[in-house]
Amino acid sequence: MAAAERHVPATPPAPVAIAVESVSKAFGAVQALVDVDVRVRAGEFLSLIGPSGCGKTTLLKIVAGLVPADRGRVSVGERIVWGPGPECSVVFQDFALLPWGTVQRNVEFGLLLRGVEAGERAERARRAIAKVGLAGFEAAYPAQLSGGMQQRVGLARALAVSPRVLLMDEPFASIDEQTRRVFQDDLLRLWSEERKTVVLVTHSMEEAIYLSDRVVVLSPRPGRVHQVLDVPLPRPREAGDVRGTAEFARLVDGLWKILRKLQ
């Protein structure tokens, strides 16, 4: 058979890590989400963006099992989501650290809730602390840390439980721009090493484009999926000056034009 006639098997699609199917949610008379459908592939980095109040955080909490959907269905892997499960960890915008606990105790907290034995708990927490660049700060308290360092503690706590899915609710919103960029690069490095499925809620167009494989744009309340954008920038992005390229600027500008029409 000629080389041109040989059959090359197609690469199978990545399995779906998260399936959001026809999800709707209301809070009293306020309809937050209507018929939202999203599929997130295993190992994908996906961002949710849209106008304020469009239901981004609500959708993230539904995926995490922290808020029930009124209609529709969410599954993470093979599990239908009825409440929080071991597959997901959440990194919150406000850090949500225990002020009376050291960095070590804060990172161990999720493992403690899961019944992990003390010795293993301490070792897994130390490894997670080192991954986020805080080795040596195990005995420090949150009040002794900068905002960026506190957010690293929150990320370490999420990573310590070895989740398949990492859900992040505007984790960089309250830190300065320089720290934010460093944290974005560190997050991409960790994602490249572990290839966890990540869903990020953000208001930043640049952040969504820089970090993501795809960006889901939600419409104004009630939130619906308005558009899904592919981000064809090469990886690893943290190793080069992706933000300075014409393609990056083009993608950010395209996302801005979509969001401006939704205002």
pLDDT digits (tens, 9 = 90+) for 100-131: 999 999 999 999 988 899 999 999 999 999 99
Tell me the C-alpha distance between 258 and 263, whole Å: 9
Q: Identify the residue whose tokens are 């592939």.
A: 41
pLDDT at 92 (0 to 100): 85
What mean pLDDT comes out for the span 224-251? 92
Intra-chain end-to-end CA distance of the chain, in Å: 58
Range in 5-9, 24-28, 229-233, 237-241 the model is least confident about: 5-9
**By C-alpha distance, which of 17, 16, 24, 87 is closest to 58?**
24
Q: Which of 28-42, 183-197, 236-250 has the highest mean pLDDT?
A: 28-42
**CB 242 within 8 Å of CB 233:** yes
Per the DSSP assignment, residues forming a β-bridge with 218 are 225
Q: How many CA atoms lie within 13 A of 170 on its CB side?
A: 15
pLDDT at 14 (0 to 100): 66
pLDDT at 127 (0 to 100): 94
Please state the domain extents for the chain.
14-87+163-262, 99-161
Per the DSSP assignment, residues forming a β-bridge with 71 are 24
Q: Identify the residue whose tokens are 């997130």.
A: 40
pLDDT band at 3 (very low <50, low <70, confident <90, very high): very low
pLDDT at 12 (0 to 100): 56
pLDDT band at 24 (very low <50, low <70, confident <90, very high): very high
**CB 101 within 8 Å of CB 80:** no
* Mean pLDDT of all residues belonging to the chain: 91
With 60 as the cut, is the pLDDT of residue 34 above it? yes
Report how far Cα 77 is from the mean position of its chain's Cα atoms: 16
Architecture category of domain 14-87+163-262 in CATH = 3-Layer(aba) Sandwich (3.40)
Q: Which of 158-162, 188-192, 208-212, 242-246 has the highest mean pLDDT?
A: 208-212
What's the pTM?
0.89
pLDDT, tens digit, for every residue of 178-210?
888 888 998 999 899 889 999 999 999 999 999
Give the pair of three-digit tokens for residue 70: 């009124």
